[in-house]
């Protein structure tokens, strides 16, 4: 019988990204490592460390280390890898940043995985066992997902207020300039068999489930079949879709019947020019209000994904966006600073235009740093506008305006909003203490943003006659 080998899987999160994410009340579990563990032969002992939960003991005795990470944790991961490799322990790297920047990652690892790894990861483990592994495994074709295993539940160890997280589909048919998914998954949308997804959904003991899909509505017929088969379990779920799903009454009816409580929708911007400018023109801004109302009519809350910093954005975008979110009665929002992830068309364009300000990947966090030169404002204004948006959205007045307008799911959206407001306040205080800044800065910026908006509003009124 072969000696048991130990594999350490790491879900990496750098100290900086952990600080950035402190204000997120729902610190969701990452599925990648518990899922990849399900492909590992039973002779291996598998340990999973999620850095959002516990630090890594660099002296741990293991035979192999595998790490998954996003761009902002890249330098931290290279440092970790160097420490393991110094001890003679081979390190395998994979995930979005490796797929987007393989040459860089290769310099820090014994083996890298470019693209999806359903076929290459088991192949590598077989090669490793006989001492003949390659240094790079590339997925040449996107894998079918018709026989993939369930993630190993005993390897999740972060509390995130959900009872389960899984994926049903992978990929998105669109190719928005700022999104890494189109580059990573070659725009090929695939789905797991409905019965397999329903079985995994049912297997979670908890009530709340998140589908970590890029766009659960990519294939709406599939989605409806899925909703019909999960409805009997009477759980509550949430997922990400595009605005098109919000126009489809049958989709929404089945989603609601099957327990959908919230849909995350990448509205991105209330500027149509901004949407057209990044190849997301299928988001029709004039339809936003109606689509949001339509979703609300089905008793489903809306979490809006908003990005600031597009080339067509001017200083008035912050106030106008917040006015919109309040008047539309949006329950939750995630604000992001536009971040050109390497490998995306957005990054390539900004690089050509000489507008990339730093290649320090730790600043590519979308929340604390501006890494490119915006076209119509300074990086400082973009950052302050982003902070203003968060502060205003989670202020008592905004909360009242939004939730009175559409009290969908008030019993959970109200406490969640309050929790975000508190988390944001404490993160802000910590950050201000870190930077030695006075909190009043944002307040004064708010009044200057408001005067810009007032000027713009009066200009618009006068041009409209």
d(CA 25, CA 4) in angstroms, rounded, equals: 39
Q: Give min distance, CB of 347 to ligand B12, in A.
A: 9
Name residue, tokens 């802000």.
Answer: 428
Nearer to ligand B12, 94 or 329 (CB): 94
Nearer to ligand B12, 214 or 268 (CB): 214
Q: Give min distance, CB of 72 to ligand B12, in A.
A: 5
Q: Give min distance, CB of 297 to ligand B12, in A.
A: 27
Nearer to ligand B12, 35 or 237 (CB): 35
Name residue, tokens 């959900």.
Answer: 162
Number of alpha carbons in the 13 Å side-chain half-sphere of residue 426 = 11
Using the rule CB under 6 A, which residue among 6, 28, 323, 357 binds ligand B12?
Answer: 28
Q: Could you tell me which stretch among 80-88, 188-196, 325-333, 364-372 binds ligand B12 (CB under 6 A)?
A: 364-372
Nearer to ligand B12, 17 or 377 (CB): 17
Contact pattern from residue 33 through residue 52 relative to ligand B12, giving x for each residue in contact according to CB under 6 A and a dash for the rest: --xx----------------
d(CA 177, CA 387) in angstroms, rounded, equals: 24
Please give the order of strands across the beta sheet that includes 332-337: 164-166, 208-211, 236-241, 260-268, 301-308, 332-337
Measured at CB, which residue is nearest to ligand B12? 94
Alpha-carbon distances of 146 from 115, 165, 169, 196, 280, rounded to whole Å: 18, 18, 10, 9, 30
For the record, the structure tokens of 164 come out as 């389960």
70 binds ligand B12 (CB under 6 A): yes
Contact pattern from residue 95 through residue 134 relative to ligand B12, giving x for each residue in contact according to CB under 6 A and a dash for the rest: xxx--x------------x--xxx--x-------------
Q: Give min distance, CB of 338 to ligand B12, in A.
A: 11
d(CA 74, CA 14) in angstroms, rounded, equals: 8
Q: Give min distance, CB of 57 to ligand B12, in A.
A: 19
Q: Give min distance, CB of 141 to ligand B12, in A.
A: 12
Q: Give min distance, CB of 95 to ligand B12, in A.
A: 3
Nearer to ligand B12, 268 or 326 (CB): 268
Beta-sheet strands, E only, within 327-397: 332-337
d(CA 115, CA 93) in angstroms, rounded, equals: 11
Q: Could you tell me which stretch among 31-39, 253-261, 393-401, 437-445 binds ligand B12 (CB under 6 A)?
A: 31-39
Nearer to ligand B12, 156 or 167 (CB): 167
Q: Could you tell me which stretch among 30-38, 79-87, 381-389, 419-427 binds ligand B12 (CB under 6 A)?
A: 30-38
Torsion of CA 402, 404, 407, 411, to 10 degrees: 90
- Neighbour tally for 215: CB within 10 Å: 22
Nearer to ligand B12, 240 or 453 (CB): 240
Q: Could you tell me which stretch among 60-68, 325-333, 346-354, 445-453 binds ligand B12 (CB under 6 A)?
A: 60-68
The separation between the first and the last C-alpha atoms of the chain, rounded to the nearest angstrom, is 85
For the record, the structure tokens of 79 come out as 């440092």
For the record, the structure tokens of 166 come out as 């899984």
* Interface with ligand B12 in residues 71-100 (CB under 6 A): 71-73, 92-97, 100
Which SS3 state, helix, strand or coil, does residue 7 take? strand
For the record, the structure tokens of 217 come out as 């509505």
Using the rule CB under 6 A, which residue among 261, 296, 367, 387 binds ligand B12?
Answer: 367
The size of the interface with ligand B12 (CB under 6 A), counted in residues, is: 38
Nearer to ligand B12, 20 or 403 (CB): 20
Nearer to ligand B12, 344 or 453 (CB): 344
Q: Give min distance, CB of 346 to ligand B12, in A.
A: 10
Nearer to ligand B12, 30 or 218 (CB): 30
Q: What is the DSSP string of 10-51?
A: EE---HHHHHHGGG-SS-PPP-HHHHHHTTS-TTEEEEEEET
Q: Could you tell me which stretch among 61-69, 228-236, 241-249, 445-453 binds ligand B12 (CB under 6 A)?
A: 61-69
d(CA 75, CA 101) in angstroms, rounded, equals: 13
- Check: CB of residue 10 under 8 Å from CB of residue 51: yes
* Interface with ligand B12 in residues 199-218 (CB under 6 A): 212, 214
Residue 432 CA, distance from chain mean position:
25
For the record, the structure tokens of 380 come out as 């400082």
Using the rule CB under 6 A, which residue among 50, 64, 68, 275 binds ligand B12?
Answer: 68
Nearer to ligand B12, 71 or 269 (CB): 71
Q: Which long-range contacts (CB under 8 A, 24 or more apart) does 434-443 make?
A: 434/19, 441/384, 442/384, 442/387, 442/388, 442/391
For the record, the structure tokens of 181 come out as 């998914």
Residue numbers at the binding site for ligand B12 (CB under 6 A): 13, 17, 28, 30-32, 35-36, 66-68, 70-73, 92-97, 100, 113, 116-118, 121, 167, 179-181, 212, 214, 336, 341, 365-367
């Amino acid at each position: 019988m072969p000696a048991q080998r130990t594999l350490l899987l790491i879900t990496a999160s750098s100290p900086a990204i952990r600080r950035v994410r402190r204000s997120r009340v729902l610190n969701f579990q990452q599925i990648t490592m518990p899922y990849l563990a399900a492909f590992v032969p039973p002779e291996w002992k598998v340990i999973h460390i999620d850095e959002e939960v516990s630090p890594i003991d660099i002296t741990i005795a293991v035979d192999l280390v595998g790490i998954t990470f996003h761009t902002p944790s890249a330098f931290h991961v290279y440092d970790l890898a160097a420490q393991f490799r110094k001890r003679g322990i081979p390190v395998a790297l994979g995930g979005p940043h490796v797929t987007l920047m393989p040459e860089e990652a290769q310099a820090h690892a014994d083996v890298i995985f470019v693209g999806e790894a359903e076929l290459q990861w088991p192949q590598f483990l077989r090669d490793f066992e006989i001492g003949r592994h390659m240094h790079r495994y590339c997925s040449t074709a996107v894998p079918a997902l018709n026989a993939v295993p369930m993630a190993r539940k005993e390897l999740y160890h972060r509390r995130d207020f959900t009872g389960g997280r899984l994926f049903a589909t992978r990929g998105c048919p669109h190719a928005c300039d700022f999104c890494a998914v189109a580059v990573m998954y070659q725009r090929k949308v695939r789905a797991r068999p409905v019965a397999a997804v329903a079985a995994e959904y049912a297997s979670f003991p908890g009530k709340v489930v998140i589908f970590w899909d890029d766009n659960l509505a990519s294939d709406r017929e599939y989605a409806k079949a899925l909703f019909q088969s999960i409805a009997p379990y009477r759980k509550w779920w949430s997922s990400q879709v595009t605005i098109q799903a919000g126009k489809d009454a049958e989709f929404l009816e089945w989603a609601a019947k099957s327990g959908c409580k919230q849909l995350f929708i990448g509205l991105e911007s209330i500027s149509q020019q901004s949407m057209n400018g990044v190849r997301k023109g299928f988001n029709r801004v004039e339809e936003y209000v109606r689509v949001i109302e339509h979703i609300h009519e089905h008793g489903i809350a809306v979490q809006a994904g908003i990005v600031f910093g597009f080339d067509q954005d001017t200083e008035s975008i912050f106030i106008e966006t917040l006015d919109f979110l309040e008047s539309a009665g949006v329950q939750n929002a995630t604000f992001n600073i536009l971040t050109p992830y390497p490998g995306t068309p957005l990054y390539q364009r900004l690089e050509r235009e000489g507008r990339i300000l730093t290649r320090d990947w730790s600043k590519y966090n979308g929340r604390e740093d501006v890494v490119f030169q915006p076209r119509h404002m300074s990086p400082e204004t973009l950052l302050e506008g982003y902070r203003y948006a968060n502060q205003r959205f989670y202020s008592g007045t905004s909360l009242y305006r939004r939730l009175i307008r559409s009290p969908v799911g008030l019993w959970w959206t109200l406490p969640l909003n309050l929790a975000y407001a508190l988390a944001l306040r404490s993160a802000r205080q910590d950050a201000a203490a870190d930077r030695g800044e006075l909190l009043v800065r944002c307040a004064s910026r708010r009044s200057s943003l408001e005067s810009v908006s007032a000027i713009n509003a009066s200009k618009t009124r006068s041009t409209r006659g």
